Structure 1
Amino acid sequence: MLAEGSPKDVEESIHDAEKQLKSLSDSGRDDLNNDPYEVVLEPSEDPLNLSTLRKWLTVLIISAGSLCVTSMSSIAAFTEVAVEDEFDVSHTVSILAISLFVEGLGIGPLFVGPLSEVYGRNPIYRASFGLVFAFSWGVAFAPNIAAYLIFRFLTGLSGAAFLSVAGGTVSDLFPHNKVANPMAVYTLSPFIGPVLGPLIGGFVNQNLYWRWTYRIILVWVFFQCLAIFLFVPETYTPVIIKQKAERLREVTGDLKYFAPLERQGQSIFQAIAQSCYRPFELLIFERMALLLNIWTALLLGILYLTFQAFPIIFGELHGFNMQMTGLTFLGMGLGMIIGVSCQPLWNRHYALVRSRYDGIPPPESRLAMAKVGAFLVPIGLYWLAFTTYRQVHWIVPIIASIPFGTGMFFVYTSVFTYLVTAYRPIAASAMASNSALRCTFAAAFPLFAPAMYRRLGTVGATALLAGLTTIMAPLPFIFSRIGAQLRAKSRFAAR
């Protein structure tokens, strides 16, 4: 799901550093670095020193995993009619296949994040995609609607690791001055995934039985599993050190060897409990985080709403079949790719900002991209709204979705980075709060989309969405001016 790309890069990197520092402090030893039994890595063992080929292969595999999971979230859009007929259920019930999957993606990070900091990235990846593979069988061969929906939820829950842990792997592999390009590759995958899903689903359901949608996914997941097991190494340094300490104790018989992670005072249950309640504490007490989270949640909700709206706009008004309707999502995908391709320009902008602030710019400087996105998103939606008439050529609303896709990418990248920077002490919780709210909106919006478009029409319904994004557009401008004051009064934010 969108989600989860840009924020996790900075979030995991910061959170990992926090955990390592906490491990050192919890040991209660001032001279810990001088302890001869504290295990450290040799340069050849450091993930940063892996070969460039190995690093990029790992990045491409986990990016493909993120692409696969987010594609699965939306691929169900074109199975809905067939599911209704086979299981004799209403359209709203069939839409739950998307809503429950997305809700699983939102809940999963609350658990896999803390687990990855205890057991490492690799075991989480393997368990995650192993479970995705297992539960996908239940989706593909579900005997009734209850089994179908339950397995969709469990599949989303299992696949969440690639939206909450994978960014940390990229940060583990590349130093700060070289992480931009691989992170851009990873960041794009969860944005493109929801657009790719309807494209695949449209072609499959136009020509094959609906269950083939999930059988094809099974093949994809199988090969993804093989790639993860064969080619993805462990990259989380504290866990690598812990594994080395275990080997040393076993080989030497000396139990004094230890890793900082083993001296960590917090149990896994405490970490999970904190991961569950802290994000909601942030939503309740931090108005700045709440408003920015609502903004990104609204955009993701609109994206998932299009899986119901585009079949109405292009299927009913322009007479498109399933596979042609699936192709209409390419406009948003192109917009997102344009957004990613602009990253070098933004990097130059931030370099100038850093030089102006002696290398330590305020978090509010990260909202520059969001200011551009704040204009592009409503422009794209208004353009789309007033070109959905039957007499307007179908290419015009597709072109309108391009600025929407670019603007959405700008807003997400900017807001995610800002939240992680502004709430640096609890970066993981800041992003978990954003994820929870986004997934709630993404799960809910498709459920009321058909009724809204029937009642208001394509023009009225889309213009309503454009109006909501217009109301939210001033946020980056407001917080650029008063963000520092709000952070000074906050008990969570960095000063």
Structure 2
Amino acid sequence: MSLSASNSSSDKTVGGVNNPSVVITADWDGPDDPKNPKNFALWRKWVMVFTVSFSSLCVTCTSALYSSIYGQITAQFHISELVATVGLSLFIFGMGVGPMFVAPISEFYGRRPIYIASLALFTIWLIPCAAANNFGTLLAGRMLGGLTSAAFQSVAGGTIGDLFTRETLQLPMMIYTATPFAGPVLGPLIGGFINSFTSWRWSFYVIIIWSASLWVVMLLFMKETYAPVLLRKKALRLQAASDKSGTPVQPGALSMQKVFLRSMYRPFLLLLLEPMCLCLCLYTAVIIGTLYLFFGAFPLVFSNLYGFNLWQIGLTFLGQLVGTFLGVFLNPLWGWNLQRLVQKHSPDGKEIIPEYRLPPAILGAPLITIGLFWFGWSSTASVHWIMPIIGSVFFGLGVFLVFQGVITFLVDAYPLYAASALAANAFLRSSFAAAFPLFGIQMYEALGYQWATSLLAFLTVAMLPLPYIFYRFGPRIRAKSRFAAVNQPLL
């Protein structure tokens, strides 16, 4: 056991507690301490990985599954399809705003309470959605459900990092990273079958059963993994054992109010002052906006051109799902490429700089553009329906690769402010994902399927060079940054 005591008045203790006269700081009992999450049993680690991954899959699936109920709710509530789309947008916007509140709370109370509360509230807010007798109730449930689902977008990646060392992190992180892309694609697929044969309310009943089952698994098997919270609790126990006078103890570190304020303004500060962060976040925002716009475009294309019914339209999203899984299977290639770049450019053959994370995005960027043009110009009645689906495979693969490169780059480029960089990315891309579906159907009807998709493709053409520009010149740009880590330029 590591235990230190001093009469310092400083309150900046990570795993410690203080009182007016003594500060006690706790540490792990050596490298093999069984209470260290990195030393948990392997089976428990993987149960926790799959629990948070399936929870992420559940909430992202819920976001897009809603698009399959448009036909029934427009008839029942006497609303237009554009108004119905607001329910999709509100959920996604909630997912983007939520991390700004969830992340600072997790710093104080740990990850496990956040997961349990978040999944419970998410499940509760599905109930008014399923039982809604008016559209306002459905919208309120969707908005609150999106807000309470945020833990699995902002905290889950940290849990996996808590459990695994850098050498063993690749596979579990790859599995988790696939879920935000697989979930939205599974939504219309599952919803298409449900809403073809029964009431739209069963779309929510199925998710309630899914999320409630995950909540039980979470309650039984999820342990706290956030080291500062675990060490703080250990320090509190040590303080209680040593403080016979009953002097009150308080956790060190910043107050909750200060952490909340910091979590609210710093993401916007990065967007305003950091060109790399702004440009890459805008790029991912356009991509995710396009992905969610497709939930309205695919039904138009495949029902009007090919006469597909609802469950058949759901199956057309399998192209994007195949592209996502191809991206997952390519992950070992990028691990090998990372080691090659390190050995080639680093003086000691060990230093990893953020730009080494960008090659997947450099490859994925043109694949997105190719996929969009392919989908758009093959969407004609004279061309077989499989051709636009093949185009969506390239799009899905490109989206996964770009996100893999950009997200890991942001984490490495802003190591002290990684949470803020990811919150900025989540907010911007959720804003675009919420906005794009609101004009997607009108755009496709006004411009036609070919030119509407081409307009989206031209947007990606304008941003296509960004990953390479930051790969080539990133170190020089970071050298002038107030927030980013600094490394030597690439040769």
1:180 aligns with 2:165: no
2:301 matched residue in structure 1: 313
Q: TM-score, normalised by structure 1?
A: 0.91
Structure 2 CA distance for aligned equivalents of residues 69 and 278 of structure 1:
26
Does residue 77 (structure 1) correspond to residue 64 (structure 2)? The answer is no
Q: Aligned letter for 1:273?
A: L
Whether 2:272 is the aligned partner of 1:284: answer yes
Secondary structure in 1 matching 2:378: coil
Q: Distance in 2 between matches of 1:199 and 1:400?
A: 18
* Residue in structure 2 matched with residue 445 of structure 1 by the alignment: 436
- Whole-angstrom CA distance in 2 between matches of 1:222 and 1:89: 31
What is the deviation of 1:41?
3.0
Give secondary structure in 1 for the equivalent of 2:25: coil
Residue type at the aligned position of 2:167: N
Deviations, residues 227-273 of structure 1 (Å, cap 9, x unaligned): 111111111111112223334455665479999x9221x11111111
**Partners in 2 of 1:179 and 1:60 — Cα distance?**
14
One-letter amino acid matched to 1:225: W
Matches within 5 A, 1:253-332: 254=244, 262-264=251-253, 266-332=254-320
| Separation in structure 2 between the aligned mates of residue 400 and residue 90 of structure 1, nearest angstrom | 30
Instruction: For 1:59 and 1:348, locate their aligned partners in 2 and report how far apart those are by CA, in whole Å.
Output: 24
TM superposition shift of 1:488: 1.4
Question: What letter is aligned with 1:148?
Answer: L
Which string of whole-angstrom CA distances, capped at 9 and with x for unpartnered residues, describes residues 267-288 of structure 1? 1111111111111111112222
For residues 255 and 278 of structure 1, do their structure 2 counterparts lie closer, same or farther at Cα, with a shift above 3 Å needed?
farther
Aligned to 1:45, the other structure's residue is in SS state: coil
Match of 1:204 among 178, 194, 201: 194
The answer for the alignment partner of 2:120 in structure 1 is: 130
Indicate the residue corresponding to 2:138 in structure 1. 148
The letter of the residue matching 1:416 is I
- Cα–Cα, structure 1 residues 485 and 77, in superposed 2: closer, same or farther, change >3 Å? same
Please give the alpha-carbon distance, in whole angstroms, between the structure 2 residues aligned to 1:73 and 1:292.
Answer: 24
SS at match of 1:39: strand
Q: In structure 2, what is the Cα distance between the partners aligned to 1:437 and 1:103?
A: 9
Corresponding position of 2:445: 454
User: Residue 123 of structure 2: SS of its match in structure 1?
Assistant: helix
Cα distance in 2 for residues equivalent to 1:40 and 1:48: 14
For 2:248 and 2:161, the matched residues in 1 are separated by 25
> What one-letter code is carried by the residue in structure 1 that aligns with 2:50?
L
Q: 2:153 aligns to what SS in structure 1?
A: helix
Which structure has the higher relative contact order (CA within 8 Å, separation 6+)? 1
Q: Structure 2: which 5+ runs fail to align?
A: 1-10, 487-491
Per-residue Cα deviation, 1:110-135 (whole angstroms, up to 9, x for no partner): 01111111100000000000101111
Unaligned runs of 5+ in 1: 1-20
Query: Deviations along 1:335-359, whole A, 9 cap, x unmatched?
Result: 0100010011110010111122121
CA contact (8 A) 2:14 2:228 kept: no
1:39·1:258 contact (CA, 8 Å) conserved in 2? no
SS at match of 1:175: coil
Q: How does 1:98-247 map to 2 (within 5 A)?
A: 98-247=88-237
1:425 is matched with 416
Q: Which amino acid aligns with 1:263?
A: G
Report whether the alignment pairs 1:378 with 2:356.
no
Residue 67 of structure 1, aligned match among 43, 57, 61: 57
- Residue 179 to residue 361, structure 1, CA distance change in 2 (3 Å): closer
AA aligned to 1:352 is R
The residue type paired with residue 285 of structure 2 is A
Q: Which residue is 2:5 aligned to?
A: none
Residue 16 of structure 1: aligned partner = none
Match of 2:329 in 1: 341
Report the TM-score, using the length of structure 2 for normalisation.
0.92
Alignment of 1:21-40 (within 5 A): 23-24=13-14, 37-40=24-27
Which residue of structure 2 aligns with residue 6 of structure 1? Answer: none
Deviation of the 1:479 alpha carbon: 1.6
Residue 26 of structure 1, CA deviation: 10
Show the counterpart of 2:6.
none
In structure 1, give the amino acid aligned to 2:333.
Answer: L
The answer to whether the 8 A contact 2:320-2:392 is kept is: yes
Runs of 4+ in 1 over 2 A off after TM superposition: 21-28, 37-42, 242-259
The answer (yes or no) to whether the contact 1:245–1:257 under 8 Å persists in 2 is no
SS in 2 for 1:492: coil
1:41 aligns with 2:28: yes
Are the aligned partners of 1:249 and 1:256 in contact in 2 as well (CA < 8 Å)?
no
CA spacing shift, 1:151–1:24, aligned 2, 3 Å = closer
CA distance in 2, matches of 1:305, 1:257: 58
Q: Could you tell me how far apart the structure 1 residues matched to 2:188 and 2:393 are?
A: 17
1:467 matched residue in structure 2: 458
Give the letter for the 2:378 counterpart: T
1:406-449 deviation per Cα after TM superposition (whole angstroms, max 9, x unaligned): 11111001011111111222111111111110000000000000
Alpha carbon RMSD of aligned pairs, Å?
2.1
TM-superposed CA distance for 1:55, in Å, is: 0.5
Q: Report 1:328-407 matches (<5 A).
A: 328-356=316-344, 357=346, 358-407=349-398
Question: Structure 1 stretch 471-480 or stretch 126-135: which is displaced more?
Answer: 471-480
User: Identity across aligned pairs (percent)?
Assistant: 44
For 2:8, the equivalent position in structure 1 comes to none
SS at match of 2:167: helix
* In structure 2, distance between residues paired with 1:103 and 1:226: 27
Bigger proportion of residues as helix? 1
Q: Does 1:486 align with 2:477?
A: yes
Partner SS state of residue 448, structure 2: helix
Matched, 1:411 2:402: yes
Distance of 1:63 and 1:258 partners within structure 2: 39
- Verify the 8 A CA contact 2:132 2:138 in the aligned structure 1: yes
Aligned residues: 468
- 1:25 deviates by 11
- Cα distance, 1:482 vs. partner? 2.1
With over 3 angstroms needed to count, the CA separation of the structure-2 counterparts of 1:302 and 1:426, relative to structure 1, is same
- CA distance in structure 2 between the aligned counterparts of 1:349 and 1:122, rounded to whole angstroms: 35
Q: Is the 8 A contact 2:65 2:187 kept in 1?
A: yes
1:413 to 1:257, Cα distance in 2 relative to 1, 3 A: farther
